[in-house]
Structure 1
Amino acid sequence: MTWHLYTSPRSPFVRKVMIAAHELGLADQITTQDVVTTPMTPAPELLVDNPLGMIPTLMAGERMIFDSLTILEVLNDAAGGALFPAGTRQDCLTRHAMANGMMDKAVRILDEQFRAQNGDTEAHIAGFVAAIKRGISWMEPRLTEGRFDAGDIAFCALLAYLDMRFPKFLWLADAPVAARWYADISTRPCVADTAFQTPPFV
């Protein structure tokens, strides 16, 4: 199989994927395309495949694979690799999550530095809002009645968070399918019993 990977030469998340690809002997099966993408101005060519405009994004034909951990799992499975040893998988994933979280913090430091220099807070917020709305639109045709897997749980938690933190976000009007799905999912005991706390919690 041939894959196409959207990349940036300075992204730690892309570097992680490329290290894995070389380790697994798959690097020569991956074509790469460097893109310049930011929250305010996502790369148009990347938006065609990933509504969040984020890298790395791996294309396997028409199939979009995202984020970096998912890409690692796909490549590892394709190569029959041992990046996620069965006996220590949970420990491996925990260490990966810690490293990934630190990468995210480091990238956010850089982002905050750029924002402080340019004074474009509103543009940043608008870019993030647009990305979330594109993401919800991408999710809508992939929602399935009766299914409730980890992907559904994550999407449910996102929508609940938007309602709690950003009541003026008004995503419901633009996403009727997701709104109906969320209303139905919200009746599940596991969702109702874990509702976000109201003030004084922050």
Structure 2
Amino acid sequence: MKLLTGPTSPFARKVAVVLHELGMTDDVEMQVVTTTPIKTDPEVAAANPLGKIPALIREGGGALYDSRVICRFLNAQADGTLYPQAHEWEVLTLEATGDAIMDAGIAMIYEARMRPEDKQWDGWLEAQWSKVERAMDALEARWISHLSGRLDMGQIAVACALSYIDFRQGHREWRSARPQLVAWHAKFEERPSMQATKPE
């Protein structure tokens, strides 16, 4: 199998972390591509008609895309436990929360990089940041006990999301009002899978 990936994509990193956690790094070739919403890499477009990474090209099967689909597939291939049935809906909701933080963070980057300077909208940037903050507030208030439990896909998604915010929005202060989330994230980042997939 081959994974079309990017060095700074938080969604691609999420898949890479899963590969490490499942012991599957030798089973998937990582191919770094350069693609944007304005100029889509042809190989990415062939694998995913939406032109987004990551995309997983399977031998003898169609390509899979959207990180949630890929992670679920990899977990099934490895007979993993990242989606425990007893907490399935909580895990999926937490994964969706992490993905939404990533989506908002990427939207902020695209606004600054893809749009001409005279067409950039500060109101849009702040609206995206408000989504991030509301999600973080929910994590702090309602999800810490789950985050501190046995490893699952929700935890991986949230960790990758928070790390992406630090990577791209490090000038924004989010820690002071969320001490439990800060402590959890610092500990989770020590995992070998997170260390091995840090963006450059």
TM range (shorter): 0.5 to 0.7
Equivalent in the alignment of 1:104: 103
Alpha-carbon distance between aligned partners in 1 of 2:36 and 2:27, rounded to the nearest angstrom: 27
Taking structure 2 as the reference length, the TM-score comes to: 0.57
1:50 partner letter: N
Alpha-carbon distance between aligned partners in 1 of 2:41 and 2:119, rounded to the nearest angstrom: 18
Alpha-carbon distance between aligned partners in 2 of 1:40 and 1:29, rounded to the nearest angstrom: 32
1:115: how far off?
Answer: 3.0
SS in structure 2 of the partner of residue 33 of structure 1: strand
Alpha-carbon distance between aligned partners in 1 of 2:34 and 2:10, rounded to the nearest angstrom: 15
| Structure 2 unmatched runs, 5+ | 121-200
1:39 partner letter: P
Equivalent in the alignment of 2:89: 90
Deviations 1:59-83 (A, max 9, x none): 1124111110000110000001000
Alpha-carbon distance between aligned partners in 1 of 2:47 and 2:28, rounded to the nearest angstrom: 16
Alpha-carbon distance between aligned partners in 2 of 1:12 and 1:115, rounded to the nearest angstrom: 18
1:46: how far off?
Answer: 1.5
Task: Establish whether residue 17 from structure 1 lines up as the match of residue 15 from structure 2.
Answer: yes
2:91 partner letter: C
Alpha-carbon distance between aligned partners in 1 of 2:8 and 2:50, rounded to the nearest angstrom: 19
Task: Establish whether residue 76 from structure 1 lines up as the match of residue 75 from structure 2.
Answer: yes
Q: Which structure has the greater CA radius of gyration?
A: 1
SS in structure 2 of the partner of residue 41 of structure 1: coil
Equivalent in the alignment of 2:43: 45
| Structure 1 unmatched runs, 5+ | 122-202
Alpha-carbon distance between aligned partners in 2 of 1:73 and 1:50, rounded to the nearest angstrom: 17
Alpha-carbon distance between aligned partners in 2 of 1:39 and 1:115, rounded to the nearest angstrom: 8
Alpha-carbon distance between aligned partners in 1 of 2:62 and 2:114, rounded to the nearest angstrom: 34
Equivalent in the alignment of 1:29: 27
1:56: how far off?
Answer: 0.3
Alpha-carbon distance between aligned partners in 2 of 1:118 and 1:27, rounded to the nearest angstrom: 41
1:118–1:47 Cα change, 3 Å: farther
Q: Which has the higher contact order (CA 8 A, sep 6+)?
A: 2
Equivalent in the alignment of 1:64: 63
Alpha-carbon distance between aligned partners in 2 of 1:34 and 1:100, rounded to the nearest angstrom: 21
Number of residue pairs matched? 119
Deviations 1:13-72 (A, max 9, x none): 001000001100111100011111111110012212211110000011241111100001
1:109–1:8 Cα change, 3 Å: same
